[in-house]
Structure 1
Amino acid sequence: MPKETSFHPKAAMVLSAGLGKRMRPLTATTPKPLIEVDGKSMLARAASRLKDAGLETCVVNVHYLADLVESHALKFEGLDVKISDERDELLDTGGGIKKALPMLGTEPFILKNSDSFWLEGVKPNLDLLVETWDDNTMDILLLMSPTVNAVGYNGKGDFLMGDEGKLERRDERSVAPYIYSGTAMIHPRLFNDTPEGPFSLNVLFDKAIASGRLHGVEGDGLWLHVGTPEGLDDAEQAIANSAN
């Protein structure tokens, strides 16, 4: 997509406050972002990707077993790590990001789920996301994975992707070819007139769809979703296979 000027974000947020219910019993004593995949915590994997992509600030929100997540995150080198404290109230994905906006600044930022990552292909996916961003036409740009090429995911997909990457939700009775991979680029202006307190990121997706400003780009490589203990096993097997 043609763009008048290039832009590179400086800030990112890694969503790390969830309860991890689907990962029990592993999350009974270990917060989900700190669960290790092939010897490295999922939160550390996310931070490494951000650092490699030239990000400077990383906001990590905390709620469940918050002290463990906070102490782990503050050890990351090469990033200015900031903690968004949700100990008193879990704000869901949208509300958690809104609370962290003062730390993220006024420019577009990167968002990552801690439980999703890529075995990179030819081009690093964060670079692909940044290069695809067009401030004139987008409020959110989602990194998409084909549903047929996703490890640890068995759903019906999330979105249909049309001309120039414009996204629409699938019909409830149908199957969609793409799933949101848990990585996105978002402009803070989209949070104008959003609710106070907890709300889902889906509120922002719907808001951007209504204005024609929700876009996607297909990622390169293999997407790994670690949402369950079985998903963890699948991810570690995929990593082992990729090394062969």
Structure 2
Amino acid sequence: MMTPVRSAMVLAAGFGERMRPLTDKMPKPLVPLMGRSLIDHVLDRLNAAGVETAVVNVHYLPEQIEAHMAARADRAPKTIISDEREQLLDTGGGATKALPLLGEGPFFIHNSDSVWSEGVTPALSHMRRHWNPALMDCLLLLAPLSTSIGYGGRGDFDMEPDGRISRRGERQVVPFAFAGVSLCTSALFENAPEGPFSLNLLWDRALEKDRLFGVRLDGRWMHVGTPEALKEAEASFEHEGA
């Protein structure tokens, strides 16, 4: 049975420093890819997965993102701004602040620079199908390094056949990168610290309890972090006819 997911957090507050000069005067979520802004790719995909409300946090050039959200007000999902003008809260702190808007969950937390071409199984539906709160505090979408674009690291996680995951050791190379989307409930945030902190802190707590799982992306992930990666993603979309 597929779990309904009605709300999502879209992380859109960062400076996008690696995307300069494109982000000198434009927030990274508004950088265009194939004629649509990165954040529109994300919101349209969330809408297709049944998400009704998306909370979008803002900090850098926030007025531009607010104006963009206002311009698409007649398109689903409904968007709500979480204002971080006074203090940038990082991924964990930003999601913690937005919890009253997200509800108990389950809800997605989606990076605004993570896009992909779908495989046979749409990724967000795949996550909903695998979500099991009896076993999991958090479920991560993981992309195989072998088919990913714009990622130059040695991987983030290894994954067992049952979906249990482990972090890469210091000198290891592992086959999967975090593809920028997680699925969780408010329970993940119990005893979360105040102020800025990374979601990695909460993932490590879940790992210690053997409650952090992953699901493999059946498609080509594109980490659009730099101008060069943006060009690669454009070329890939054009080649695949996406």
TM-score by length of 2: 0.97
Q: CA deviation at 1:75?
A: 2.9
Residue identity matched to 2:117: L
Matches of 1:188 and 1:73 in 2, distance apart?
A: 25
Alignment partner for residue 29 of structure 1, among 17, 25, 28?
25
Residue identity matched to 2:85: R
Q: How does 1:114-133 map to 2 (within 5 A)?
A: 114-133=112-131
Asked whether the equivalents of residues 43 and 73 of structure 1 are also in contact (C-alpha less than 8 Å), the reply is no
Q: CA deviation at 1:6?
A: 4.7
Q: CA deviation at 1:146?
A: 0.5
Q: Secondary structure at the match of 1:136?
A: coil
Segments ≥4 residues shifted beyond 3 Å: none
Alignment partner for residue 39 of structure 1, among 35, 38, 55?
35
Q: CA deviation at 1:218?
A: 0.3
Asked whether the equivalents of residues 12 and 104 of structure 1 are also in contact (C-alpha less than 8 Å), the reply is yes
Q: Secondary structure at the match of 2:110?
A: strand
Alignment partner for residue 154 of structure 2, among 151, 156, 177?
156
Note the residue ranges of structure 1 that are not aligned, 5 or more in a row: none
Corresponding residue of 1:20: 16
Q: Secondary structure at the match of 2:134?
A: coil
Q: How does 1:202-217 map to 2 (within 5 A)?
A: 202-217=200-215
Corresponding residue of 1:49: 45
Task: Give aligned-pair identity as a percent.
Answer: 48
Alignment partner for residue 169 of structure 2, among 168, 171, 176?
171
Matches of 2:164 and 2:61 in 1, distance apart?
A: 38
Q: Deviations over 1:129-148 (max 9, x none)?
A: 10010010011101110011
Alignment coverage as a number of residue pairs:
240
Alignment partner for residue 183 of structure 2, among 182, 185, 196?
185
Corresponding residue of 1:242: 240
Is structure 2 residue 54 aligned with structure 1 residue 67? no
Query: In terms of mean alpha carbon deviation, does 180-189 or 68-77 score higher?
Result: 68-77
Asked whether the equivalents of residues 33 and 114 of structure 1 are also in contact (C-alpha less than 8 Å), the reply is yes
Alpha-carbon RMSD across the aligned residues, in angstroms, is 1.1
Matches of 1:180 and 1:118 in 2, distance apart?
A: 13
Alignment partner for residue 94 of structure 1, among 81, 92, 95?
92
Corresponding residue of 1:111: 109
Note the residue ranges of structure 2 that are not aligned, 5 or more in a row: none
Asked whether the equivalents of residues 118 and 221 of structure 1 are also in contact (C-alpha less than 8 Å), the reply is yes
